Structure 1
Amino acid sequence: MGEEQAALNVIALGAPGAGKTTYLAALHHEVKSDPFPGVSVSLAQSAQAAELDRVYRQAADPSQGWPAATRTGEGLREFAFRLVVEASRVNWRNQIVSARHPVMSLTYLDYAGEFIPDADLYEEEAAEFDERLGAAHALLGIIDGHQLLKYMLRCGPEEEERFLANLARVVGRLKGAAQPVHFLVTKWDLFDGRFTFAQVRDALLATPAETGFAVFVAKRTARRRFGRTLLGRVRLIPVSGYGGIAFLGEDMTVQRDPDGRLDQQNVIVPLAAAVADIVDHFVQKATVPRDAAEIEADRQAAVEFGRAAQSASELKVGPTGVHINVFAMITAALVGVPRLGRLLIVPGKALGRSARRQYRRVRARRLAGVRTVEGAAFYLADLIEAEMESFDIRFPDSMLTYEPPRRG
């Protein structure tokens, strides 16, 4: 299938100061510690790596102030993270053979937070942003944890109005999107000892109707279950990139603790969740017949591919749930596909005897069994599934669903 890697695009939406860039800096720092054994995660451009390193050093140093927010004049910036599986094995000549298998790239679009409240003032930039938004494979709604905490602590009408207005703007931008949507609550360490994850989730779902949050989740829940339009999942993910060195002061401002010890929470989860839920969304489209008049050619290819995948017990594919078997479709669904906006996939025979043999080899020998890009995709999928299983155990209510109370 060649060495062309899948290219996935994720856009983050958030008000000024919500923590988009500082989160990306924390993510870049986290992946350098190899959270996925045998998988190299790096930025495609060294200049961007240096920039995020600078942001991280400043944010992680309690003796310095927080990094400045991204300004509108800086334009829309892309940070492409490459995921490459690096495998070594001993061949029949007792020689060590090493290989690098580029599986995919995950590109985050970082933009000035002013686009959320003041998009009408930046028409050219906003138009480009809206175009990118429609082509994205997953969306991140960044919720400023500091603002949310002050809202839950009832710190006054001004703070309440600011938080609700920003939440409404983020949700408003997400309306109509079919992609997976993840809401990230930043600065999660500030909630420690104050509110549980369940309480935070319930508070968001109970925000006034004008924010649109509960309605957005309810519509996605209903349409995912009963509708003909196939929608991606909605998750709530708490993230802390700089916990332990900041605390909430008596005046409700975030202050630095020079004696604190840095502690991160769930920094890698949004990356893993993006891959997992993008593939889950693809699986829905690849296994559930849709309007034949709308995309007949794509539907026929999807049905054929789904049947072929179902024919092998090792590669069971279902319309719901993300399991290692689902990721057998990664390379067929994503690698070498000219347009991800349409369901143009390779024929079902691509998951034939050779792919099944590679799958068994990786399952049995782990990294040592990786010999092809398909095998690398299987291996990476297994690691991602393990990461998401661990997260779901710790935060079992992360998958957002909501059914409004019945009247009467």
Structure 2
Amino acid sequence: MLPIYNVVILGPSGSGKTVFLGSMYHKLSTQGESGFFLAVDDAQRIILNQIYTEVATDETWPEPTQIVDISNLKFTCKIQTPKGIYSACQFQYTDYSGEILTDRKDDTTYIEKFNETIKNADVLLGLIDGSKLLSYIKGENSARKWVIKELGNVLSLMQNTDKSIHFIISKWDLIEGEYTLEEVRNHLLEIDQFRNIIMTRSNNSDINNENHRNDHGKGVVRLIPVSSVGKGFAEQQTDGSMKKTGKLPKPYNIELPIACILPDKLKEELRKMINEENKKSQEQIQEVKANLTLWDKLKKYFGTTAKTILEKVAPKLPPQFQFSKEILTDIIDFIDQDLQTSVYNKETAAKERTEQLKAKKAEALVKIENEKTALEYSTRCFLLLVNKLEYEHPYSKLTN
């Protein structure tokens, strides 16, 4: 049975959720440089293709998700090899209408189901509308309602979970060239609710310090700049609307959010295991003070070598993370290298890792012969894409 990773997309109406999903599927519906492709059932394929077609060719934009609709999209990650096509894993995306975030109705059944879905999510995707974010950065009065009502509602929901959070900045094509991701990050941290989300996952109250750490088992928080259509496809009008220019879409970074899901969730699971052992040993104070790597912490509780650690740790992981010891070692190594790298050196370190990751990805491709080896290959594809994010945007991770 294929492992399934549950993803919930949160974002007010108009933030770009529908366009994002259509664009992601279009980009990944065939196997390119990413090394994998996504498949859906026929009904969902028709809907997603229709969304992308409307985006690419119509003068208007697709209609937002209706309040009575909960869009469940199951993407199967597949690998095409000379031997055949193999399924690796599945990503279950639940896309809620923006109205549930800003104008909750009296439909208690709907809200209960919404809250249950949040509870069972592996990762939350928070869509930040790039055009409204740009207005906020520029100090325009129109952005105040967006900060207080729309973004505020999303952040309050995220406060109730320890899961990894990936903030996707949509419409990055509008921001790129005017502001860097570091500048955007700093503006977002000026918003109290946004800053509080990061602080509750960090030991160091100075979240502008790149060395602040998250040692509580809480999920990673990322900023991922994405453009579903690419630069030059649409231009913002004086009323805030987006008018298409007639150019073809060229999506940017659209594959990165899906790549971050599995590595970040596995990191979260490993930290939970460490924290459980930490509580048993009653050494919380020493643990917080010690500047230990992930391997160091695992060695403290599960063994003295990588082999003995993984022999104890691997069976305790949830079923969707029952990887081979080789791939677990590589993922932990990847996490450790990232944790030990200053934000100022992340670009250089990521560049140096690229060739190593590409080589391991190529080696894994020829070994694919079943779903398990396909999953391990796809994981290497994901790590390479996460490394790309670290290289291009070293300030994208908000917690370590």
TM-score band, normalised by shorter chain: 0.7 to 0.9
Q: What SS is found at the alignment partner of 1:263?
A: coil
Aligned mate of 2:71, from 77, 102, 113 = 77
- Please say if residues 171 and 226 of structure 2, whose CA atoms lie closer than 8 Å, have aligned partners that are also in contact: yes
**Whole-angstrom CA distance in 1 between matches of 2:113 and 2:183:** 37
Counterpart position of 1:283: 270
- 1:167–1:68: structure 2 CA closer, same or farther, 3 Å change rule? same
Deviation of 1:22 (Å): 1.1
Q: In the TM superposition, what are the counterparts of 1:217-228 in structure 2 within 5 Å?
A: 217-222=198-203, 225=213
Q: What aligned pairs does 1:184-263 form with structure 2 within 5 A after superposition?
A: 184-207=168-191, 209=192, 212-222=193-203, 225=213, 229-243=216-230, 244-258=232-246, 260-263=247-250
Equivalent-residue separation in structure 2 for 1:39 and 1:263 (angstroms): 19
| Runs of at least 5 residues in structure 2 that lack an aligned partner in the other structure | 205-211, 282-297, 330-358
SS of the residue corresponding to residue 202 of structure 2 reads: helix
Aligned counterpart, 2:291: none
Q: 1:364 to 1:217 in 2, by over 3 A?
A: closer
* 3-state SS in 1 of match to 2:203: helix
Secondary structure of the residue that 1:396 maps to in structure 2?
coil
2: CA distance, partners of 1:55 / 1:276: 29
The SS at the match of 2:103 is helix
Q: How many residues align?
A: 346
Matched, 1:141 2:126: yes
**What's the RMSD between the two structures over aligned residues?**
3.4
Q: Which runs of 5+ in 1 are unaligned?
A: 89-97, 294-301, 319-328, 403-408
TM-score by structure 1 length?
0.75
Q: 1:248 to 1:108 in 2, by over 3 A?
A: same
Write the distance in 2 (CA, Å) between the matches of 1:194 and 1:187. 13
Tell me, yes or no, if structure 1 residue 51 matches structure 2 residue 51. no
Task: Name the structure 1 match of 2:253.
Answer: 266
Q: Deviations over 1:311-358 (max 9, x none)?
A: 179x7999xxxxxxxxxx6x9845xx3xx7xxxx87xxx8579x99xx
Distance (Å, rounded) in 1 between the aligned partners of 2:49 and 2:136: 32
Query: Counterpart of 2:64 in structure 1: which amino acid?
Result: A
Name 1:67's counterpart in structure 2.
62
Please state how far the C-alpha of 1:122 moved relative to its aligned partner.
3.2
Report % sequence identity: 23
Question: How far 1:112 moved relative to its partner?
Answer: 1.2
Give, in whole Å, the separation in 2 of the partners of 1:393 and 1:369.
Answer: 28
Q: Which amino acid counterpart does residue 77 of structure 2 have in structure 1? A: L
1:391 corresponds to which residue?
Answer: 389
Q: State whether structure 2 residue 177 is matched by structure 1 residue 180.
A: no
Q: 1:178 to 1:155 in 2, by over 3 A?
A: same
1:10 is aligned to 7
Q: 1:274 is paired with a residue of what secondary structure? A: helix
Note if contact 1:31-1:41 (Cα within 8 Å) is conserved in structure 2: yes
Q: Could you give the per-residue CA deviations for residues 111-135 of structure 1, whole angstroms, max 9, x where no partner exists? A: 2110001224332211111011001
Structure 1 residue aligned with 2:208:
none
Offset of 1:266 from its aligned partner? 0.6
Instruction: Name the counterpart of 2:155.
Output: 171
Q: CA deviation at 1:305?
A: 11
Give the superposition deviation at 1:308. Answer: 9.9
In 1: Cα distance, 2:397 partner to 2:243 partner: 32
- Cα distance change of structure 1 residues 37 and 14 upon mapping to structure 2, 3 Å threshold: closer
Aligned-pair CA distance for 1:369: 1.8
Task: Tell me which amino acid in the other structure corresponds to 1:242.
Answer: V
Amino acid at match of 1:205: L
Structure 2 letter corresponding to 1:131: E
